[in-house]
Chain A
Amino acid sequence: MDHHPKAVPVPRGCGTRKQGGCYAECGSGPGGRPLEDFLICPPQKINPAELGVRPIGVRLVEHQGVWHILDWVGSEHYPNVADMLEEIRRFGLSRRLPSTLDFGKLTEHSRILLIHARAWIENFGAYADHWAAGRYNRCPKHIESHDLPDAPMMCAGGYWQDVEWGAATADPRVVRRGMPSFEYVAARRPAHITPLYVPAIFASFPIHRLVVIKGRNGEHEATQAKASRAGLPVELEDR
């Protein structure tokens, strides 16, 4: 019997897990910590060129002797930052890692840091002036200064006030946003606001285990061998 919290293998914004693929998981379950614990609020603006990250994919970075994963969440599958966060809230984190990754650098102290092109809203103050009732009354992490009438530079609560592609409801601001395995309620962007986005790191999760998906023709074997170099539990799953 293993004790590693597991992510739920449902169809996600980026599709289903692929045979032979390797996935970093931060599982969910009873006794776990709330999603908000893992948010970075305010998010951390980045210069992608300086950090050497690209708008999709992962990069290993070393910080104080520990290697971590910088993972850019693609806007194609998760146009809203809240899409990814609500998915993690329900099913845990599951992010594909390239088989070329140097798995040997990962340890139990490694974290996976998520980047999104929309994670920092430069003109967040405009949103704060038109806050819609919803999941959060301003700051998901209950940072008191974020709840004051004067808006902070940016607060993660803005992710739930800036949702596109949601279905309309009776309330002109409230939308039901459908994802492959669930839907959530949030607020669409106020009509008169043109957002100014900057890429930012918006969440940091521990990595509970690596999962390799079995392939019918043994596609997983090479990946499993590489992943087993990590200082993390590596488990084989059917999906």
Chain B
Amino acid sequence: MSDAQPLLPLEEFAAAALPTEADDLRDMAILDGVPEHLFVLMLDQARPDVVAQRDAIKRLLAEGYSEREIAAVTPFNHAAIRRRLNLDHALPEILDLYRAGGASAAVLEQCAKLPEAVQRELLAVAVDKGKLTATDVANARKARAVAALDGLPDEMFAPEPAPPPAADWRAEVRAELEQVARRIPEDANDLRVHVQRLLKELEAIKA
């Protein structure tokens, strides 16, 4: 906007846009100086062309209006505005497909989130089938996720190493009993015999 034509608040345009008949609305708005692009957005329910909506939002932004101002007077909240703007990432051929009725708005939005290479693969699908469906996009995304996963190193998925073989508890107990036997004084004969008996029983278990 130039200095000579200060930016008018969008709320004023919205207030002027109360009549219900679309044509009247357009005429009145033009007479009141409402940007035509704003109309595309305000008539969203009647004309749900997401590409036209994107173009209208971009024109308004180029004229100096903010996303917040646009959200305040149109049916589009911030997230919806961002989704429309994200359509810039869709290949022109996919935009054409949408406008020709070969893809829904939802499919178009999902395509716009995919890398160009994947979009080209989807275009090839559309050429074969004459249209592009949500299932096609879901399959492409799934294939992409599988490829990304396959690219990760195997080591991070590797199972835990097998635990070391458990030590033979009998050997450990025998060693400790032998140590005990060595520490028993000679005059404690009963106790020495008892420990020796335990050692023999331990040997029997091993056998």
Contact = CB atoms under 8 A, between A and B. Distances in A.
- Interface size grouping (class) on chain A: 20 to 34
Contacts of B159: 109, 206
B149 A61 contact: yes
Contacts of B160: 206
Given A44-B152, A49-B113, A64 B157 contact: yes
- Interface size grouping (class) on chain B: 10 to 19
B199 to A, nearest CB: 28
A50 B157 contact: no
Contacts of A68: 157
Contacts of A44: 152-153, 156
B144 interface: yes
B127 to A, nearest CB: 25
A66 B157 contact: yes
A46 B149 CA distance: 9
A52 B145 contact: yes
Interface in B142-167: 144-145, 147-150, 152-157, 159-160
Contacts of B154: 63-64
B156 A204 contact: yes
A159 B148 CA distance: 25
Contacts of A50: 144-145, 147-148
Contacts of B153: 44
Contacts of B149: 51, 61-63
Given A44-B152, A201-B152, A111 B157 contact: yes
B26 interface: no
Contacts of B147: 50
Nearest to A43: B156
Contacts, number: 41
A232 to B, nearest CB: 13
A21 to B, nearest CB: 25
A175 interface: no
Given A49-B113, A52-B141, A113 B148 contact: no
A116 B113 CA distance: 22
B156 A40 contact: yes
Nearest to B147: A50
A204 B157 contact: yes
A47 interface: yes
B156 A51 contact: no
A49 B148 CA distance: 10
A61 B159 CA distance: 15
Given A49-B113, A52-B141, A63 B148 contact: no
Contacts of B148: 46-47, 50-51
Given A44-B152, A49-B113, A201-B152, A63 B145 contact: no
A229 to B, nearest CB: 21
Contacts of A40: 155-156
A40 B159 CA distance: 14
A82 to B, nearest CB: 19
A47 B115 CA distance: 12
A-B interface, 8 closest residue pairs, ranked by CB to CB distance from nearest: A50-B148, A204-B156, A52-B145, A63-B157, A206-B160, A51-B148, A109-B159, A61-B149
8 contacts: A44-B156, A46-B148, A50-B145, A51-B148, A52-B145, A113-B156, A113-B157, A204-B157
Interface of A: 40, 44, 46-47, 49-52, 61-64, 66, 68, 109, 111, 113, 201, 204, 206
